[in-house]
Amino acid sequence: MLPVPQLSASVSGALDAVRGLTEEQRTGPEDRAALLVGLRQIIDTAEGAFTDVLAEFDAAGDGATLHAAASTAAWLRGALGMPAPEATERVRIARSSSTELAPAFAALRGDASSGAGVSYEHVRSIHRTLRALPPSSRPDAADALSALAPQLGVD
């Protein structure tokens, strides 16, 4: 991984808070269950933020500017050690986050009334489904799948 000179105070604080979860906060089954739910929400929120920043990073060509990477996916592979298929998919999802995947990301962010229970894995599954459809069908399918996602499993 490439070294990061300085994380923002908010990112650093969030990392410290997650690292600081102690055994006393998970003494019983309810505590552990609540902690798991909360951690999953943190992960999904972080995945949404990661995708937002990745979309900006990709659009600006920052990988090439900073490290002469041939593509954003190549930068992800080198800087974050991502496998090639995951890096490619993440860039595709980031590029679609403001267009055909916008309803799914609104649900992930909680911007939509149907947003409860939508995870990044739901967004990834919707993305994969949309790629298999004809382009003319994608907007309606994205709306329908995003609305249904909170009631359905990722599969």
Tens digit of each residue's pLDDT (9 = 90 or more) over 59-104: 999 999 988 999 999 999 999 999 999 999 999 999 998 888 888 8
Tens digit of each residue's pLDDT (9 = 90 or more) over 103-140: 888 888 775 443 357 888 999 999 999 999 999 999 99
Distances (CA, A) of 66 to 54, 62, 63, 70, 75: 14, 6, 5, 11, 9
pLDDT at residue number 58: 96
Considering all CA atoms of the chain, what is the largest pairwise distance in Å, rounded to the nearest integer? 53
Residues 130, 132, 137, 140, CA torsion sign: negative
Return the closest-CA partner of residue 48 out of 120, 143, 116. 120
Tracing tokens 């920043």 back to the chain, one arrives at 53
Q: What's the number of CA atoms in the CB half-sphere (13 Å) around residue 98?
A: 9
